[in-house]
Structure formats: C-alpha cells, structure tokens
Structure 1
Amino acid sequence: MDDVMAATEIVDDLVGPEGRQDPYPRYERLRAYGPVVRTGAGMLVVTGYQEAEEVLRAPGFLVEDGQMRAALDPGFLDHPGEYLLSSSILQRNAPDHGRMRSLIASVFTPRRVAALAPAVTAAVDDLLDDLARRGADGTPVDFLDAFAFRLPVGVICELLGVPVEDRHLFRPLAADLTVTLEFDPDEDERAAADLAAVRLSDYFAELAAARRADPRDDLVSALVRTADAEPDRLSDRELIANLALLLVAGFETTGNLIGNALARLFAHPEAAAALRDGTLDPGALVEEVLRHDPPVQLTSRLAAQDGLTAAGLPVEAGTAVLLLLGAANRDPRRYPDPGRFDPWRYQAADGREPAGRPLSFGSGPHFCLGSQLARLEAATALPALLRRFPDLAPAGPAPRRTRLVLRGYGTLPVTLGPVTPAPVAPAPDGR
C-alpha cells in the first residue's frame, strides 16, 4: 500500500466513531508518513507543528468562506447554521475578516483581560459555593453542568450584556450549533444546528434592538452603535453572526478546556497536589492541558493560489489542507516525550527554557481572540477548585462527546468529599 492510500485510510478512521473517541493513535500513524501527507482525495494533512504554523500564517491559505463554499455546494446556505457562521469572522477572509475583527479585538486586549481578573475570581468563588451546596450530601455532581460551562458562559455573557436570567439557555444551543463545524453531521444534527442558529439569531436581534433603545456599557451596545453609524464596517447580518459566535466560542471551548483539565488532574494526582499547594504554576498546567488534550483538535485551510508549498510539497490552488492541531501539539521535534502529560515542561528549571506555546488557539490572522480570557478563567478556576475540595474525585464513567473538532466530555460526574471553608474576604478597612 502506498503512502497516499495509507494516509487516506487513517483519515477515514480518524473521522469515524473510534477515531473521534481517541484521535491520538491515529495522529501518530499519520505522522509516520511525514509532517505533511497527501490523501487520495487530493487533500493535504498536516501533523507537524512548524508546518501547521506556517500554513496558518501564510496569506495564500484561506479559510473556506461562504463564497468558496457556495461554489462547491450552492445549497449550503439554505441551512441557517451554516449561514450564521459564514457571516462571522470565523469564516471570512481579508478584507472582511480584518474589518470585523478590529471592532471586536479591543475587548480582548491583554490589558482589558487582566482587568477582568477580580471579576473572574468572584465568579469562581460564587460557583464553588453553589457546587458545595449541590454536593453537600455526597451526591455525585456533573462538574461540566455545575461549574465548567457555567463559569465561561457567565463571563462572556457579562461582557456581551446578556441578562442573567437568560444565560441558562445557551449551552444546549451552542452544543447544537457547533456540530456544523464537525465532519459530515447527520440530518438530525443538522436540523438541531439550524434550529439553534434561528434561536440565537432571534435572541441577538431582540437584544440588539433593546440596546438601541437603551444602550448599556457592554459589547452588544458598542457593536450596535458601530453598525448603526458605520454600516460599511458592520452590517446587521454580521452583527448578529458575530454576537452568536462570541457567545458560543466564549464558553464552548473554555468549558471543554476546564473539563479536560480536571480529567487530566484526576489521572495525574501529583500535578493536582502541586497545583493545590502552589508549587505548580496554574498557567503552566493550563498550557499543558492545551497541548496534551486541546478542546479544538483541528482546523482547515484552502490554497487560494498556485505556487504555494507545505513542507516543500507543491500545493495547487483549490487544495484543501487539514491542520491537525492536536497532532502538531505532540510533534516530538517541538516537545520532547510529547505523549507524556508534564505541566512542568512550561516552567523554567535547571537551566531549561520553558516549552513554547501550543497551537491550540491557532496562529496567524485567525488566532483566537479570546485565548487570554480562556487561560485566565482556567488558571483561576482549577487551583481554587482543588483547594476548596481537597478530596474531589471522579464518580463514575465520564463519556466523551462524539465530536472530533471540539473535544470534550459529555458528562464528568464528581463527588466533593469534605469541603474546605470558603476564604473570607477582608473588611474594607483591612481588619
């Protein structure tokens, strides 16, 4: 069997049920054929870190936008789920991508994210209090529902200006909508995604109208002002699409990151103990989770012109390039012993430089705007969780979701054990 046929079989296995549950052995089988390999469909598959980053940064490789997709599949925009995301920065190229991204980026600057730290800490403490109440009698609690997703949805909704009483609506809608990012969803999944898109679009259209009538100090109000004053910078369609994207991306990936992190900590009690007693930097732990089991496993690009290359291979215009971020993060040329979970690799020690950041949030023009906020939320939540519940333990099987692009658990049941009292805030006068 030649390399092309072998790679094709591995990719087919990867997108099947077993591959979605555990993609990492399939990544290593692909890596054996080189950092970039062709498949029988003419697609290039990238497993190398350097090669993936080069494609993500190269201006000749573009995301598949609505215009490209319509040329291949004219009926795809009949699906509201596809239509909604195709109008957002996620699936737009220059100049539209930069035009829209510049409006949103100001909310996610390092300075603004750092200023959110007290609010994130307060949100974590509130959720830990609620978690303690839920599990006080020893009953197992689903950590994802009770904490991992509630934290980021609360933070992003606060930024957007979504009322507290509406926030419970969004996790199921996000889970349904994001199936459009997966390989070959079935008809029931597509129907659920379309319904979620309609509901999200209607919700944000109503919220935008409310903010036009009564502006607040939130992102929805700011974007509405721009859309009204400068429609060439942001159309109504783009406004709704990007609000929905910010909401979904703002907690879907971060919730999975926190859930994946706790599962890794259960499997590595030495890391949990070090995080609890402060000898392991929370930021290092988060980076290693992002590298070892990232919530976003892959992305793709299309070659927009002839004359491009990837790892020295010529890439013809129109070629699809599948970038396996989960594989690139385990490239042994970048990370020694890459299959080992080792958060200390991100801490300088004995003259060793910390490991470089993984590609979990992408690179280049589409680098994730919310990456620093996601890191802040996870790095704040995990040590606080372990200190509050020193005997936190798994309470049964934790099934994976049947997804490949967005990797996480369907449920993560835990028992809390004895609860450490919540820290008492000092009085205003310091006494």
Structure 2
Amino acid sequence: MDGEEIIGRLLDAEGRADPYPLYARAHELGPVSEAGPNMVLAVGHREVNQVLRSTAFHVPDAALRERWEDGYLEHSSKVLLGASMLETNAPDHGRMRSLIASVFTARRVAALEPAVVAAVDGLLDELAEAGADGSPVDFMDAFAYRLPVGVICELLGVPAADRARFRPLADDLTAALELLPTDPELAAADVAADELSDYFTELAARRQAEPADDLVSALVQAAAADHGRLSGRELLANLVLLLAAGFETTTNLLGNGLALLFGHPAERAALRSGQVTPGGLVEEVLRYDSPVQLTSRISLSDELSVGGVPTPYGTGIYLLLGAANRDPARYPDPERFDPRRTDSQPVSFGGGPHFCLGAQLARLEATVALPALLDRFPGLAPAGPPTRRDRLVLRGYRTLPVTLR
C-alpha cells in the first residue's frame, strides 16, 4: 500500500471510523512518502513539526484556493473561513493573530478556572438529575458539548439564550474543513456560514454601541481603534472561528477521553487514586486519539523538501497529526494508551505560527472536567455503543450514552 492508496483509504467510511491501522501502514513507508502527483504524506513527528513550524510552507489560503480549487468562491463557508486567521499566511495572519491574541490572553484564560469549575459542577448536577432513574444519558449532548460552548460563549459575550443553536451550525460549518466534503455537506456548511455571519454581524453592532466585558467588545474596540489591523470582514470571520473552534475541539477531547477511560479501567482507577495526574491524562488523550487528525500545507518554492522528499512548487503536504502522535520513532509502544508518559508533546493543536490559540482553554476544561466527572459518578458506565461523527479531520463522537449507576 503506497501513500496515495493510504489517503484514498482514509477518505472512505472505514478509514474515517478508524484511521490508526492506516497510519501504522504509512509509518512503514517512512516519515514522509509520496502520495500521488504533487502530493506527499508526512507522518513522522519530527517532520510534521518541521513543516508546522516553518514559514516556508503556506496554509492553503483564499488566493491559492481561488487559483487551484474549482468553485471555491461559490461557497460562503469556504470564503468565510478563508478570511480568518486559520487560512491566511503572512503578513495577514500575523496582523490578525496578534490583535486577537492581545485580547484572548493566557491571563484571561487562566482567570476562567473558577468559572470552569462552577460550570462543571452545574452540569454534573444536571447530569445527576437526568440519570437519577437509571436511564441512559448521552454524555456528548448533556455535558461534552454544553461545557465548552458555555465557556466560549461566556468569553465571547454570547447571551445564554442563543447558545443552543450553535451546535448544529458549527457541525455543519466545519464540514467545509474536511478533505472532500460532499455537495450536500457543502450546501449545509454554506447555510450555517450565512446564519453565523448574520448573528455575529448583529452582535458586533450591539457591542459597538454598548460595549461589555467580553471578547466581542474587546475585538470590536481594538478594530475600531486601528482600522488597518482588522477589517470588518476579518472581524466577522474570526468571531465565527473563535466560536466554532472554541467548542468543537474540546467537545471531541472530552468524548474521546471518557471513551478511552471506559476502555482502560486500570488507568481510570489510577486517575481516581491520584497515580495518574489530570494533566497527564489529557496529554495522552490528545496524543492517542487527537480531536484534530489532519491539516495541510503547500510548498511555494522549488528548493523545499520534507524528510528528504523533494516538495517543489505547488506540492501539497498532508500532515497527519494523528499519525505523528503515534510515531514509533518518537514514542515507545505508541499504540498503548499510557497517561504516565512524560515529555509527550502531541501535535494535536498544531505548531508554529498557526498553533491553536485555544489550546490552553481546551486543556483547562478537560483537566477540570474529566476527574470531576469520575469523582462525582464512580459507577459511570457505557449504556450502549457510541456513534462516531463521520469525519476524518475533526475526530470525535456524535453520541456516547452512559448510565450513572
């Protein structure tokens, strides 16, 4: 099986459901391998890190997509995401990111810990009530989604009454990030992009007239104070990105983490006894079953190479983050779930200029939530088979039924 076939297999239903056997086959080919005309596959931890941290390799931005991707401008979802810092390169990326980072600071995130603890406690109370009669409760719907959406909406300043609408919208929008979304998926993504754009246009206007102590107000004020730093279109695109990314990744992280603890009872017991730290658990969940599995870059020079494989101008590089996290050259026994690992450094949040701004917040939420969940419900157990989302790039569960016992 060569790199091109591996990519093809990852795109079918079986590969999306469980990509890890295919990642193992990719490692047999080497850290970097050819994957068809003008495409390479990077699975080595060191090589993936090299590309993520290099400014010589570009994200596929709007200008590149317009040139090489048929019908790009016909999809408002792609155009909206293309205006955000997620899909821009220097100098626009640095201009946008520095402004957003100036208000989405590490200090502001760290100060959220008491609010996260309170939110977890409140959701655990509601979970206890929902499952008090022994009936199954969907962990994804009752907890894994509601915690991060509540936190990011509180941070942004989205009113509580509006929050329930965002899960299906973000689910539809993020289909545009997949490698080969279907036409119906793209149509739904476009509808979601339009609705989210309308919502944040109205919210930004309200915060401009009546500022509050939230990120939307801070970004609106910062953009107004320096008209060259963030256009109205960019402000809108990044607000939508902050919302969607602010809970999509963490929702997957919580669901993947609980499912792994169900499958590894010894590690679950070690977490409850203190032999495994919450931080160690979260890092190993990120490594072992990453909420984000894949990203890509494009070479814009004939002089570049990755892992000894030439990547001339126009070469696309698939960066398989989930495979890099199980690189046998980086991790002893990489297929073993071991929260006691040290110096793990998973690439689940990317690296370099595009390192995820919300990584600290996602880690905070999961580090607080998973131990609290098991302390509150020591008899928590699966209540039937879970269902995976049919995605490759964003990996997580759609449902995860549990009983509290």
| TM surpasses 0.5 | yes
Match of 1:262 among 246, 252, 258: 258
**Code of the aligned partner of 2:234:** E
Deviation at 1:121, TM superposition (A): 0.4
Post-superposition CA distance 1:290-339 (Å, at most 9, x none) = 00000000100000212111012221011000000000000011110000
**Code of the aligned partner of 1:412:** L
Post-superposition CA distance 1:259-295 (Å, at most 9, x none) = 0000000001111112223221100000000000000
Q: Which residue number in structure 2 is paired with residue 183 of structure 1?
A: 179
Match of 2:211 among 211, 215, 225: 215
Tell me whether 1:381 sits opposite 2:377 in the alignment. no
Q: Which residue number in structure 2 is paired with residue 425 of structure 1?
A: none
Q: C-alpha separation between the residues in 2 aligned to 1:157 and 1:51?
A: 36
Partner of 1:32, secondary structure, is: helix
**Code of the aligned partner of 1:270:** A
Contact 2:287 2:344 in 1 (8 A): no
Partner of 2:97, secondary structure, is: helix
Q: How does 1:223-262 map to 2 (within 5 A)?
A: 223-262=219-258
Q: Which residue number in structure 2 is paired with residue 80 of structure 1?
A: 76
Q: C-alpha separation between the residues in 2 aligned to 1:180 and 1:29?
A: 27
Contact 2:293 2:321 in 1 (8 A): yes
**Code of the aligned partner of 2:273:** D
Q: How does 1:204-353 map to 2 (within 5 A)?
A: 204-345=200-341
Q: Percent identity?
A: 64
> RMSD value over aligned CA atoms?
1.0
Relative to the length of structure 2, the TM-score reads 0.98
Deviation at 1:105, TM superposition (A): 1.1
Q: C-alpha separation between the residues in 2 aligned to 1:240 and 1:45?
A: 33
Q: Which residue number in structure 2 is paired with residue 367 of structure 1?
A: 355
Structure showing greater radius of gyration is 1
Q: How does 1:90-239 map to 2 (within 5 A)?
A: 90-239=86-235
Contact 2:3 2:40 in 1 (8 A): no
Q: C-alpha separation between the residues in 2 aligned to 1:228 and 1:113?
A: 24
**Code of the aligned partner of 2:269:** A
Match of 2:382 among 380, 389, 394: 394
Q: C-alpha separation between the residues in 1 aligned to 2:389 and 2:132?
A: 28
Q: C-alpha separation between the residues in 2 aligned to 1:41 and 1:251?
A: 36
Partner of 1:272, secondary structure, is: helix
Post-superposition CA distance 1:51-107 (Å, at most 9, x none) = 000011111100000000001135312211101100000000001101010111134
Q: Which residue number in structure 1 is paired with residue 396 of structure 2?
A: 408
Deviation at 1:213, TM superposition (A): 1.2
Contact 1:120 1:377 in 2 (8 A): yes
Relative to the length of structure 1, the TM-score reads 0.92
**Code of the aligned partner of 1:42:** N
Q: C-alpha separation between the residues in 2 aligned to 1:293 and 1:74?
A: 33
Deviation at 1:230, TM superposition (A): 2.0
Q: C-alpha separation between the residues in 1 aligned to 2:348 and 2:387?
A: 22
**Code of the aligned partner of 2:357:** L
Ranges in structure 1 where 5+ consecutive residues have no aligned partner:
346-353, 418-431
**Code of the aligned partner of 2:351:** S
Which shows bigger deviation, 8-17 or 106-115? 106-115
Contact 1:335 1:355 in 2 (8 A): no
The alignment covers a number of residue pairs equal to 405
Q: C-alpha separation between the residues in 1 aligned to 2:397 and 2:74?
A: 31
Partner of 2:310, secondary structure, is: strand
Q: C-alpha separation between the residues in 2 aligned to 1:339 and 1:105?
A: 35
